[in-house]
Structure 1
Amino acid sequence: MAQLRVPPGRAGRMKLRRSLGAARRGADLLDQKLRILRARHQELSEAERVAREHWHRRLGEAESWLRRGLLLGGEEALDALARTRPAELEVSWTSTMGVRHPGRATCTVPGRQPGEPAPPNTALVHAESAYADAVRAAAEYAAARAAARAVGAEVLSTGRRVRALRRHWVPRLEAALARADAALEQSEHEDAVRRRWAATPQRPPPAP
């Protein structure tokens, strides 16, 4: 925690009051931000859960069709289909309270090109289509997970800042302001006593 540097007298008290007001307003604003972030994080976490379940379902379906295809055609059926068709991924970005995170991911899986051999059995045809769906679902899940993690990290960071202000910085400023008020009051009281003493007529010493 930074060391408080307070000028003496009324200037120091005024500075402390301004700092305390700014700290309280900052804490209030961070509280508002934290509420919004928490609500958004809850939404994104639910979206992540749904996307994960969707991906697992699609992957399970693809693996099921693949097993059927291998039972029908054997492993050599896959060798006949060996080729490279890279998918294309496009991610749109958005922000929540200044936190940049993925908004949506669109994955395009190229279809079979003319002249490429077709799967040797129907099960592998279904497996090919199911794996394409699984890849698209995986991209959506990855984007949802990244968004939830980014906003979740900001929730933790903002929460720490709020606690630092509420539990440490604001009480320190309040204590310092109370000390400054007491010191200034004491100083003013002493000045008043000195003024009264100076204004009191002094009696001459008694004659010997």
Structure 2
Amino acid sequence: MLEVEPFSVVLVADLAGVVVFAASGASAAVARRFDMFGVAVIGVVTALGGGATRDVLIGAVPPLLLSDWRYPLAAVLAAVFVFYFHPAFSRLFRAVLVLDAAGLALFTALGTQKGLAYGLSPWAACVVGVLSGVGGGMIRDLLTQEIPVILREDFYAVAALAGAVLAVVATPLDSSHGQWVSALGGGCVVFAVRLLAIKFRWSAPKPRI
């Protein structure tokens, strides 16, 4: 089981992912001209909405959103930072895409392993892993009246699914390392596929009109 201990590497990486996704959500809210409260709310639900939904589904309650103050605090601080410095932040669009890919990889891999740790079947663990990675973005898009990105472009959910499947398949071979290698491998697949999709503008087939 992957455990999150105080000041552990996992916690630091997890909070980094929270900051990245919160900044992404806050940027979308700023573009829609939300006020500061609205920007903070969108930042928090983008960063923590997917993980909270996963935790409720697998019975890991209360979710980290409610049980560990560091997670919502990190999300709020990131959102407020974007609110005040959004002109400079918007110029870092490519860097934000890379960071978003890293956050997607991290949340998908850790979400998949958490599902396995709570006794889910391999298929169900893949589902909650993907949900961990893309759920917050779906909530963000719905609240800002956008078509969710996973339904329209960039191999977003496909990248997450590929990494989740690899993490599940590799887990039985990785028992001696506490599932770290399988989680890392799955995360690397998500990250690589996402970056390649951005670079080469991959997308799933669309209907001809």
TM-score (norm 2): 0.23
Return the structure number with greater helix share: 2
**Structure possessing the higher radius of gyration over alpha carbons:** 1
